[in-house]
Amino acid sequence: MPRVFSFLSYLLLLVVMGVALFATFLIAPAERVQGDVYRLLFVHVPSAWLAFLAFGIVAIGSALYLIRRSPRWDRLAVASAEAGVLFTTLALATGSIWGRHVWGVWWQWDPRLTTTLVMWFIYAGYLALRAYIDEPESKRRMSAVAGIVGIFSVPLVWFSVEWWRSLHPTPSVTSPGGGLPRDMLLTLLLCVAAFTVLYGIVVRQRMLLEQASSLASDLTERLHAQQERSE
């Protein structure tokens, strides 16, 4: 059954990613002022949204771990944190390339950019914390607290364009009146769907890897214990 599920999820990813790429390059028209470089939007926006979703899941997984103390919630948190850092990196990189073309610079100390970079550092810190604690149970507890604290950065990034004067474009989908033409909006939504499926697969695979790693450590310990007893 898990194999069938894996096969179907990869198939779904292939289809939805293929359609999203098709829409990105062949359906969405070139932008009047920016030309083709605006197409980075179809990677940049879904990456940023998925990063928010991923960090939200980190907080939920962390809170559930502290309440239930079941390692699977910790696995969910760490898998989601890694995916979140990956998507944030992608959002920062695509944003920087777009900025170079439109603003003429690779980086601006703009509130949205700065807060996103801060968010990246916070979750990089979360992963570093896990790497520096050896005892598994202690690692889970401490990183769960860090995973809950980190969520404060998400609203800071989201509302930064409203709270401070920012060069960064305001949300064009959620703002009243929209702003994106129909084909562009449809393509963007397709890309969001494709990235969401990708996120789900990455998180599931990472959770399975974490479970396998934990199982391997358990078996090694049991083997050592048996060897000690037989001696």
Partner 1 sequence: MSKYQPADLATLPKDSAKTPALTASQLTVRRGHRDVIRNVTFKVQPGERIAIIGSNGSGKTTLLRTIAGLLRPRTGNVHINGVPATSSDSGIRRTVGFLGHHPHLYPYLTARENLQIHARLFGVQNPALRIDTTLSTVGLAASADRPVREFSRGMQQRLGLGTAMLHSPSVLLLDEPDAGLDPEAIENLPQIISKLCPHSAVIFSTHDERVVAALADQVGKVTQGEVSIPKQYIQQTDPSPAREWPDQTGFLAATTTLIGKDVRTEWRAREQVPTLLIFTLLIALVFDMAFIAIVETEAAAVATGLLWTSVLLAATLGGTKLFAAEQERGTLDGLLLAPIDPSSIYVAKFFVLSIETFLVGALQLGFVSLLLNVPLLQGATIGALALSTTAISAVITLHSSLIINARAREILMPLLSIPIAIPVVLAGVGATLGTLEVTPAAQQWPWFGLLAITTAVFLSVGILLYPYTTK
- What is the binding site for partner 1 (CB under 8 A)? 66, 118, 121-122, 124-125, 128-129, 132-138, 141-142, 144-146, 148-149, 152-153, 156, 214, 217-218, 220-222, 224-225, 228-229
**Rounded Cα gap, residues 226 and 205, in angstroms:** 31
Q: Which amino acid is at 162?
A: E
Kindly state the smallest distance separating residue 213's Cβ from partner 1, in Å.
10
Q: Which is nearer to partner 1, 136 or 178 (CB)?
A: 136
Question: Which residue, 121 or 179, is less far from partner 1 as judged by CB?
Answer: 121
Cβ neighbors of 56 (< 8 A, separation 6 or more) are: 151, 154
Nearer to partner 1, 1 or 132 (CB): 132
CA dihedral 67, 71, 77, 80 (to 10 degrees): -150
Min dist CB 163 to partner 1, Å, is: 10
What's the min distance (Å) between Cβ of 63 and partner 1? Answer: 10
Beta strand segments in the chain, E? none
- Which amino acid is present at 125? G
Q: C-beta of 210: minimal distance to partner 1 in Å? A: 13
* In the complex, least distance from residue 164 CB atom to partner 1, rounded to whole angstroms: 10
- Pull the structure tokens for residue 15: 């289809």
Q: In the complex, what is the shortest distance from the CB of residue 169 to partner 1, in angstroms, rounded to a whole number?
A: 23
- Please state, in angstroms and rounded to a whole number, the distance separating the CA atoms of residues 57 and 129: 18
- How far apart, in whole angstroms, are the C-alpha atoms of residue 129 and residue 218? 22
Mark out the alpha helices in the chain (DSSP H runs).
2-22, 41-68, 71-102, 111-132, 136-150, 153-163, 182-230
Q: Give 148 or 198: the residue with its C-beta nearer to partner 1.
A: 148
Q: Which is nearer to partner 1, 97 or 149 (CB)?
A: 149
Q: How many residues does the chain have?
A: 231
Question: Residue 7 or residue 164: which is nearer to partner 1 going by CB?
Answer: 164
